[in-house]
Structure 1
Amino acid sequence: MEKTNNKKLIASAALIVASIALLLGLTFAWFTDTVANKGNKIQAGTLKVQLLNGTDDIGVSSTPVFAYDTWEPGYSTAKASLSVKNNGSLAVKYELRLQSGEMSQSKGMENAIDVYVGDQISGTLADYLGGSKTLDSGTLTAGASSTAKEVYLKMKESAGSQYQGAVADFDILLVATQATSEIDGFGNDQYDKDAKYPTVVATPAEFEAAIAEGGIVQLAEDVVLDGSKTIAADTTLDLRGKTLTVGNGADSLKAAVGTTLTIEGSGTIEGVVYADNKFNNGSTIVIDASDNFVVSSSHDWAVYGGSGSNIVINGGTYTATQKGAGVIHCLGSSLTVRDAIITVGSATVMNSSGVRSSAANTYLENVTVNANYSTAVDLTSEYGATVIKGGSFTTDKESSGFSSPTISYQGTLDISDATITRVNTGIEYARSWPTPTEVEGLVYSGLTFVKASNCIGDDIDLRSK
């Protein structure tokens, strides 16, 4: 009986194995269905306001609203009808202010000018320029306009002879930021309740006070600083087409250790944008340039990043005139440059470069470097990893038989679709120790090499050769 059961078990096991084998050879068909929800997108809203005097857009006008050059006691300006229109897609909160300009010749006359809103005295011009009063404030949904404010200025009848020839210069200023109106996916309309107005500056003193506090800082006028200045807190600097001069153009606008300095818009910085560091701890520089953004330095750097720093550059034109280091020079953790034009202004084949990086990670995309006599890109970290996509790199001048490679690298380099104009070696592998016997760490594709006059060397070679 036991033998019979064993035979049955063996037969059953064999049958199971055979069944599994047959099943493995079958193709199964299952009921299926697919549903796609198409057209999802994330699109940022726009925040854009307009300042009107009646129907005239005075935010783009070069004609002052209150312009009269023979003030006298009792004189009144014509009324301005000031209103704000929200031309963006987001709700805004706004303030309409008066801001001081050049007041060195005012002789205190701002204290003798009354500001009328409607037919009532609202305060003196000094009250408004001091920031204690605003002409108007409020919240506007998309497309809405504020109620017009009738504003005029009058010189007090009691104003004395001490104000003869005085000049009080001021701006009508509209500032706006996000308002608590839109509701997010959690039913919350308070996520932007802490949005702050930008700080608009027109003088060196106002600029220094603003960068000590941080936040959004906008230039209303060209500003000339007497030397290097340090951003003490996270700051976004919007040049708004103006020029910021730091010292003689060789001094620095520094981001303190642990802070982030973001620079945006169009305009010019004459000086160095500098990411400070201490004990291998750095800061962060982000440049999001609009058209006509320039950093022009009479130092050997235009942008510098110390140890532990992070540099991100999107667009703009960068020039440095002194020899040494690089126009963009990064000793930090990472360097990213996109869509920028970099020019080496010094006439030397020694030490200078367009981009010099010893960062762990370097990324260049669609970058143009006009290096003239110097190395266009100098990658100095034997442990660094660099990616270059597209762009144009030119070293086309030599001096008394001396010339520079166009791109010099240590570590690894992945370069594609770039144009390399050379008077010496196009891509040079420059590891110093142990002395290499062949080019290492290089991946390349789609490169175009252009030989300048008096060209020597090869497209790709070792420094030691």
Structure 2
Amino acid sequence: MEEQIMNESVKTKKALRGSLFALFLCIVLLIGTTFAWFTDTASTGVNKIQAGNLKVGLEYKNAENKTFTSVTEETKVFNDGALWEPGHVEYAVLKVKNEGNLALKYKLGVNIASEKGSTNVNGDAFKLSDYINFAVVDGDQSNLDRAALVAAAGEGQSINKGYSKESHLDTTGADETVTLVVWMPETVGNEANHATNAEAPEINLGVNVAATQKDYESDSFGNTYDKNATYPTIVQNTKALNDAITEATDGKANVKLPKDTKVTLDNGIAQGDNRRNVTITGDGNSSEVDVITKSVAAEGGQLNYQRGSTFTFDNLNIQAGTGNFDGIVCDKLVFKNCTITGKLTLYGKATFVNCTFDNTMANQYSIWTWGGTDVKFDKCTFNTNGKAILLYGQATAANPTNLTVNNCTFNDRNKGAAEKAAIEVGNDYNATYNLVVNDAKVYGFADGKNTGSKLWANKNKMDAAHLSVTIDGKKVH
């Protein structure tokens, strides 16, 4: 028995020595490693981020065109050759369609783009719009005859009151259809019958659709991120432009000018308590904003005062001034994809992107910085008779004029006859300027005074304490 116990003791000691050795081995093997929590991994596939597409379409059909056809700015939705008289009725069926993949809300508008009055057989002046009625009826009513269509339209209203409808299309391919009915009531008499020796009256009727995002799609926090998206307001005359700016309730006016629309910016409509953030967009070819004609004579120039406001002009022709101080007085100007005719003097921050300056004046700059603070030109072209940019004004060391010119082209038709460099720097007020130019192309300009450079001139020999010039990354003054 004692021997058995001893044998068990020996076995136990051997087992303990084996366990201690195993523990020691584990400790040795773990020296230099780090204990960690249990871990595991899982991966998703590649996650695609794709931009949505918001696109609204407008189609029409009428008595001559029986199938729906896409509307462009060239489309005549009514019979253009019709001669209106009492009892005459025209219709156009309009279909608004969601052609993108984002939900949208839209505004359908019908209004008079322009009108030409005349004189009737009684010798009285009149406008045709006072004697034309219209109505908008839901659905496609093209199967109705004349009497039934007028009956469906009800009393209607005078066409000069215009029409506006708001609705929404949430899914791709969704559409809504209305029938626009226009007629001259049978009760109209000679008051709308123009005299044979008078020019015929006419109306240019505008039909337009503006669309924006609708609060339908969701992100991580719900579908409210675009609930305040606003429509562009389509304007076709100066009064409509000014009304769109002054009536913008949220301080932002987003305006679109259709093809062949020319408007004038009235002085003082967006300043003080009426200051606005205004964006005006055109078609790039024929829409124009005149910023000078309705300005006021002040401080040596024609000034369009819009103090406190920001104006962005996009895809437009801009009619500027001709005098030394002519310009818009506001906090910030942005011009994108514009053709600017004439001369602009700056009175605040200003940015020009992909603009063309068409300057045919014999002895005038395209740009005078004067009251400009941070002024930037990017990918712009200056077509001139020898004067492009004048960096000149009353900037101080505390508030210098910072002029940056990137990737711009300067053309002098007269090949240096004006004896100016592309960027002239002048100083009569102990001013302070910072000029940075990168990748400029200069053709035809003269060598600049005190620099010998066709790109820039230091005509008043400003010292380095007041003028810093960096060209293509190298400080040259």
Do the structures match in fold with TM over 0.5?
Answer: yes
1:58 and 2:71 are equivalent in the alignment:
yes
- In structure 2, the residue matched to 1:235 is 278
Picking from 362, 365, 371, the partner of 1:331 is 371
- In structure 1, the residue matched to 2:82 is 69
1:115 and 2:124 are equivalent in the alignment:
no
- In structure 1, the residue matched to 2:307 is 257
1:339, distance to aligned residue in structure 2 (A): 0.8
1:92 and 2:118 are equivalent in the alignment:
no
Alpha-carbon displacement from aligned partner over 1:11-49 (angstroms, at most 9, x marks no partner): xxxxxxxxxxxxxxxxx9889999999978876544332
1:389 and 2:408 are equivalent in the alignment:
no
Q: Check whether the contact 2:422–2:442 (CA below 8 A) recurs between aligned residues.
A: yes
Q: Pairwise CA RMSD of aligned residues?
A: 4.0
Alpha-carbon displacement from aligned partner over 1:372-396 (angstroms, at most 9, x marks no partner): 4322113458643332221212343
1:364, distance to aligned residue in structure 2 (A): 1.5
C-alpha distance in structure 2 between counterparts of 1:122 and 1:197, whole Å: 30
Amino-acid identity (%): 20
Instruction: Sort the Cα spacing of 1:383 and 1:248 in 2 relative to 1 into closer, same or farther, 3 A.
Output: closer
Alignment of 1:46-195 (within 5 A): 46-54=53-61, 55-77=68-90, 79-105=91-117, 107-116=126-135, 117=137, 118=141, 119=149, 120-121=152-153, 124=156, 126=158, 129-131=160-162, 133-134=163-164, 136-165=165-194, 166-187=201-222, 189-195=223-229
1:426, distance to aligned residue in structure 2 (A): 5.5
- In structure 2, the residue matched to 1:274 is 327
Alpha-carbon displacement from aligned partner over 1:262-291 (angstroms, at most 9, x marks no partner): 1112x3112259341xxxxx51001122xx
1:212, distance to aligned residue in structure 2 (A): 2.8
1:366, distance to aligned residue in structure 2 (A): 0.8
1:378 and 2:424 are equivalent in the alignment:
yes
C-alpha distance in structure 2 between counterparts of 1:354 and 1:124, whole Å: 56
* Larger-gyration structure (1/2): 2
Instruction: Sort the Cα spacing of 1:264 and 1:40 in 2 relative to 1 into closer, same or farther, 3 A.
Output: farther
Q: Check whether the contact 2:377–2:404 (CA below 8 A) recurs between aligned residues.
A: yes
Instruction: Sort the Cα spacing of 1:161 and 1:361 in 2 relative to 1 into closer, same or farther, 3 A.
Output: same
Instruction: Sort the Cα spacing of 1:223 and 1:254 in 2 relative to 1 into closer, same or farther, 3 A.
Output: same
1:322, distance to aligned residue in structure 2 (A): 5.7
2:240 is paired with a residue whose SS is: helix
Alpha-carbon displacement from aligned partner over 1:239-277 (angstroms, at most 9, x marks no partner): 224123345699868462221101112x3112259341x
C-alpha distance in structure 1 between counterparts of 2:69 and 2:374, whole Å: 48
- Between stretches 165-174 and 378-387, larger displacement belongs to 378-387
C-alpha distance in structure 1 between counterparts of 2:303 and 2:101, whole Å: 35
- In structure 2, the residue matched to 1:287 is 335
C-alpha distance in structure 1 between counterparts of 2:174 and 2:186, whole Å: 36
Q: Which amino acid aligns with 1:243?
A: E
- The answer for unaligned runs of 5 or more in structure 2 is 1-31, 62-67, 119-125, 142-148, 195-200, 297-301
C-alpha distance in structure 1 between counterparts of 2:168 and 2:450, whole Å: 54
1:219 and 2:257 are equivalent in the alignment:
yes
Instruction: Sort the Cα spacing of 1:42 and 1:257 in 2 relative to 1 into closer, same or farther, 3 A.
Output: farther
- In structure 1, the residue matched to 2:23 is none
Alpha-carbon displacement from aligned partner over 1:125-157 (angstroms, at most 9, x marks no partner): 52x5424x43x4310135233232233322211
- The answer for unaligned runs of 5 or more in structure 1 is 1-27, 277-281, 398-403, 409-421, 448-459
- Between stretches 177-186 and 355-364, larger displacement belongs to 355-364
1:102 is paired with a residue whose SS is: strand
Alpha-carbon displacement from aligned partner over 1:102-126 (angstroms, at most 9, x marks no partner): 2231734334333242441255452
Instruction: Sort the Cα spacing of 1:326 and 1:296 in 2 relative to 1 into closer, same or farther, 3 A.
Output: closer
Higher RCO (C-alpha 8 Å, min separation 6):
2
Picking from 292, 296, 304, the partner of 2:341 is 296
Q: Which amino acid aligns with 2:257?
A: L
- In structure 1, the residue matched to 2:404 is 363
Higher strand share: 1
C-alpha distance in structure 2 between counterparts of 1:36 and 1:336, whole Å: 46
1:361, distance to aligned residue in structure 2 (A): 2.5
Instruction: Sort the Cα spacing of 1:130 and 1:355 in 2 relative to 1 into closer, same or farther, 3 A.
Output: farther
1:338, distance to aligned residue in structure 2 (A): 0.6
Alpha-carbon displacement from aligned partner over 1:375-428 (angstroms, at most 9, x marks no partner): 21134586433322212123435xxxxxx51896xxxxxxxxxxxxx7x66555
Instruction: Sort the Cα spacing of 1:102 and 1:152 in 2 relative to 1 into closer, same or farther, 3 A.
Output: same
Q: Check whether the contact 1:176–1:197 (CA below 8 A) recurs between aligned residues.
A: yes
| Aligned pairs, number | 376
